[in-house]
Amino acid sequence: MMNSPAPLLSMQRISKRFGATQALEKVSLELYPGEVLALIGENGAGKSTLMKILAGAYQPDQGTMTLQGRPYRPSGPGEALQAGVAMIYQELNLAPDLSVEDNIMLGQERRWAWLGLSRRAARQQIRRVLAQLGHEELDPRLEVGRLPLGAQQVVEIARALLRQARVLVLDEPTSSLPQRDVERLFDVLRRLQGAGVGVIYISHFLEEVRQIAQRYAVLRDGHLVATGSLDQTTQEELVTLMVGRRVEELFPHVPHTPGEVILRVEQLQGASLPREAQLELRRGEILGIAGLVGSGRTELLRSIYALDPVRRGRVRVAGSTPAASPAARIRAGLGYVAEDRKSEGLALDQPLEDNLTWSHLAPYNRWGLLLRRRRRREAARWIQQLQIKAQGPRQPVYQLSGGNQQKVAFGRVLHQQANVLLLDEPTRGIDVGTKAELYRWMGQLAAQGKAVLFVSSYIQELLEVCDRVAVMCRGRLSPALPVEQWTEDKVLAVALGTQWPQASGETPPAQ
């Protein structure tokens, strides 16, 4: 191991409580220069909280830290950055209305001025870092809110790199990055490592963690339960450490049989994406949609749900054509879980119970107070069934951990009793044990005669969970083939446009 004897950073007996939740209990952790340490654990285990304390966003109730041998107690993120600690947050932290360069320079204007750098010189620096990250094509003058999620993440990383961080924390950095960008990010991290930077890397993708990290630390219910070398620990051991028990089946299978067609998408073309999509989804079926980030999968679901206008084509649900509004689509039995839970999925400042019961409020309103109680009871039931880690139905959603927020978004379509579920990356940010639960839910929904359209960038889960899979490439959707006819390589080849399934004699989409 590359550990030099003196740690770069040491956290000692850190505790943090939020009301009734003991988020961290006497956690001690060390980070050495030039290492990547993987911080892993279930949703709500305390990973983000621990790192927010490190990055100055929260104050610990107890405990101390030292950085390069000196006491370190940042009073806020600015002070942490000054000391050389930068964090890329799980929920992106950019100003959507500002340009890329303004976001990167935000709060740094004085330093740039002090260094005597003109705006043009600053822009050049920014271009250099973006190129280092493999994104020379990103124009620093573009408005951040218009960039795809993956590109926004690159902007955050560039911001941290430009600040010469000694300690870099990445909280689930790859959950919305395309595979190619993940590799670029890893190259950058390796370069930083070579320069002696210490990296703490939070991820629920254990395969990925192995590619980049040397050591791991596992948090469970706010306690540090293990640290060790990844070389000497198997995947099963890691999962067992995280969950506190053996997980028998990562991909539980619930038998289900496809019945009649419930959703038919005919020649659908959006304003820009999708360019052409056709599919049939049957009751009792899970249909997977693979594809690169930006290929139009999200736009396909949004068009089906009538969130985006369509230029051509039709969406038929159970034989009829519902009007082109989300309300009409909900009435027709569609339910939708958005990719980006922060901006369109959830009302973060509202209580859990409202978020869970949102699209299905009607039965509760008519009778007023009495049924508000029933709504609370319903919410409590979903919290229990989905094992959402929360204080109760009244807790606002922003206080939940990232993965638990995602469960609320999923819980809402379950509560809505939708017949056709449109799920966009529903397992993003979800821990292994809970992923297995979500797969079981999908299987059970199919077994009840409901239908699931499952968009995911995680090819393995599509191949394990779906009955058929179609692949999106540059706005065009391939024919859906039975899952047995796909391999991971074949999915990738179709996603890249170098191969096209022959089912209906089509040719690969043109550039």
Q: Given the rule CB under 6 A, which residues bind ligand ATP?
A: 18, 21, 23, 41, 43-49, 90, 389, 399-404, 431
Nearer Cβ to ligand ATP (42/467): 42
Within 383-442, which residues bind Mg ion (CB under 5 A)? 401-402
Q: How far is the CB of 45 from ligand ATP (least distance, A)?
A: 4
203: partner contacted, choices Mg ion, ligand ATP, none (Cβ within 5-8 A by kind): none
The sign of the torsion formed by the CA atoms of 310, 312, 318, 322 equals positive
Taking CA atoms, 362 is separated from 157, 241, 354, 372, 375, in Å, by 44, 44, 12, 11, 11
41: partner contacted, choices ligand ATP, Mg ion, none (Cβ within 5-8 A by kind): ligand ATP
Pairing of strands 36-40, 198-202: parallel
Q: How far is the CB of 89 from Mg ion (least distance, A)?
A: 9
Q: What are phi and psi of 28, to 5 degrees?
A: -120, 135
23: partner contacted, choices Mg ion, ligand ATP, none (Cβ within 5-8 A by kind): ligand ATP
* DSSP SS3 for 22: strand
49: partner contacted, choices Mg ion, ligand ATP, none (Cβ within 5-8 A by kind): ligand ATP
Q: How far is the CB of 302 from ligand ATP (least distance, A)?
A: 25
Nearer Cβ to Mg ion (201/305): 201
For residues 7 and 31, the answer to whether their CB atoms sit within 8 Å is: yes
* DSSP SS3 for 313: strand
Inter-helix orientation angle 149-162/179-194, to 10°: 10
437: partner contacted, choices Mg ion, ligand ATP, none (Cβ within 5-8 A by kind): none
Taking CA atoms, 493 is separated from 232, 290, 456, 502, 505, in Å, by 34, 11, 16, 13, 17
Q: How far is the CB of 434 from ligand ATP (least distance, A)?
A: 9
Q: How far is the CB of 372 from Mg ion (least distance, A)?
A: 31
Q: For tokens 């989409």, what's the residue?
A: 509
140: partner contacted, choices ligand ATP, Mg ion, none (Cβ within 5-8 A by kind): none
| CA proximity to 459, closest of 475, 472, 476, 474 | 472
For residues 140 and 101, the answer to whether their CB atoms sit within 8 Å is: yes
Residue nearest to ligand ATP (CB): 403
Nearer Cβ to ligand ATP (91/280): 91
Nearer Cβ to ligand ATP (429/475): 429
Q: How far is the CB of 169 from Mg ion (least distance, A)?
A: 11
358: partner contacted, choices ligand ATP, Mg ion, none (Cβ within 5-8 A by kind): none
Q: How far is the CB of 72 from ligand ATP (least distance, A)?
A: 20
379: partner contacted, choices Mg ion, ligand ATP, none (Cβ within 5-8 A by kind): none
The one-character DSSP state at 485 is: G
Q: If you write DSSP's letter for every residue of 348-366 in order, what string do you get?
A: TTSBHHHHHHGGG-HHHHT
Nearer Cβ to ligand ATP (214/401): 401
* CA dist., res. 11 & res. 291, Å (int): 41
Q: How far is the CB of 191 from ligand ATP (least distance, A)?
A: 27
Q: How far is the CB of 220 from ligand ATP (least distance, A)?
A: 10
Identity of the residue numbered 492 = L
458: partner contacted, choices ligand ATP, Mg ion, none (Cβ within 5-8 A by kind): none
Within 227-256, which residues bind Mg ion (CB under 5 A)? none
Q: How far is the CB of 163 from Mg ion (least distance, A)?
A: 22
Pairing of strands 285-291, 468-473: parallel
Nearer Cβ to Mg ion (60/402): 402
Nearer Cβ to Mg ion (403/501): 403
* CA dist., res. 12 & res. 208, Å (int): 28
Nearer Cβ to ligand ATP (48/174): 48
Nearer Cβ to Mg ion (49/278): 49
* DSSP SS3 for 324: coil
* Structure token pair of residue 411: 């819980």
Q: If you write DSSP's letter for every residue of 70-107 in order, what string do you get?
A: EE---SSHHHHHHHTEEEE-SS----TTSBHHHHHHTT
Nearer Cβ to ligand ATP (379/473): 379
Q: How far is the CB of 41 from Mg ion (least distance, A)?
A: 9
Task: Choose the binding region for Mg ion from 85-93, 216-224, 447-455, 503-511 (rule: CB under 5 A).
Answer: 85-93
For residues 160 and 88, the answer to whether their CB atoms sit within 8 Å is: yes
Q: How far is the CB of 429 from ligand ATP (least distance, A)?
A: 6
Residue nearest to Mg ion (CB): 48
Within 32-51, which residues bind Mg ion (CB under 5 A)? 48
Nearer Cβ to Mg ion (278/401): 401
Nearer Cβ to Mg ion (90/174): 90
Within 110-139, which residues bind Mg ion (CB under 5 A)? none
389: partner contacted, choices ligand ATP, Mg ion, none (Cβ within 5-8 A by kind): ligand ATP
Q: Helix, strand, coil % (nearest 5) of the chain?
A: 40, 25, 40
β-strand partners of 471: 290
- Cα–Cα–Cα angle for 7, 40, 342, rounded to 5 degrees: 115
The one-character DSSP state at 343 is: I
Q: How many CB atoms lie within 10 A of CB 281?
A: 24
**Contacts with Mg ion, residue ranges (CB under 5 A):** 48, 90, 401-402
